Amino acid sequence: MNDEVLYREYLSHGATIADLVLNRPEKGNALTFGMLDEIAAFCQRIARDKQVRAVVIRGNGRFFCTGGDIQAWGNLSATEMGQSWILRGMEVLEQIANLPQPVIAVLHGHTLGGGLELALAADLRVAVKSAKIGMPEVGLGMIAGWGGVRKLAETVGVARAREFLLLGAPITAEKAAAWGLVHAVAEDAAAIDTQVTEWLELLVANAPIAMALTKGLLKTMHTEMRQAFASAAAHAAGTADCKEGVQAFLEKRKPVYKNC
């Protein structure tokens, strides 16, 4: 463990709550291979612990999560992208979604790309009013490869997903709430904590097994798509346009795409 993801437990309304905190604020909490491994290990711990009644995922610093760190995936080959980065990321996000406990994602700042895919693995999402929420991958010649395309469409509808994913522009927290992408919007940090506390009060009053069974039934609505996403992401990673998108991002310039 390298402390890029922190874990703590605390009591709320007499029940044990697990906090997972993304702890890479100087990089916008951008996700790395190591962070994925840490999240996976903590999820295994939480899944076994019947004393934990709910999970809250947060981020340190200004942002919740600005996505997958481009330094982690930008130089991967097409095969490495599909097999290592995409499948591993999807596996970890599925661990979050498969937890028997309800999971709350606290979007206290910008939530982009893989960060939004991480948030979509949670059951409930609250965002501070000033947050920007988006999946800008197409601007880098990439796709939202951790299942985000499908999950977004399932959450907000195909028409809205087209607008969101193809334009690549972030939306406000209020628009995200109107779409059903987030469940509540808070004015500031204090208000977001109040909302989380209110949800936790309701959640810990419910029967744990009944909630776990309900989550399992909801999961049956999804079809296995891991290999399809890995294949599509590998295809994108192998294009000259993706290489140009990554290089332009690193050089802080506008990319020039040639459709190849």
User: Which listed residue (94, 117, 154, 244) is catalytic?
Assistant: 117
Q: How far apart are CA 199 and CA 52, in angstroms?
A: 15
User: Which listed residue (80, 137, 163, 187) is catalytic?
Assistant: 137
Is 198 catalytic? The answer is no
Residue type at position 49: D
Distance from the Cα of residue 105 to its chain's centroid: 8
The full DSSP string for the chain is --SSEEEEEEEETTEEEEEEEE--GGGTT-B-HHHHHHHHHHHHHHHH-TTEEEEEEEESSS-SB--B-HHHHTT--HHHIIIIIIHHHHHHHHHHHT-SS-EEEEE-S-EETHHHHHHHTSSEEEEETT-EEE--GGGGT---TTTHHHHHHHHH-HHHHHHHHHH---EEHHHHHHHTSSSEEESSHHHHHHHHHHHHHHHHTS-HHHHHHHHHHHHTTSPP-HHHHHHHHHHHHTSHHHHHHHHHHHHTS-------
Number of residues in the chain: 260
Is 91 catalytic? The answer is no
Active site residues: 117, 137
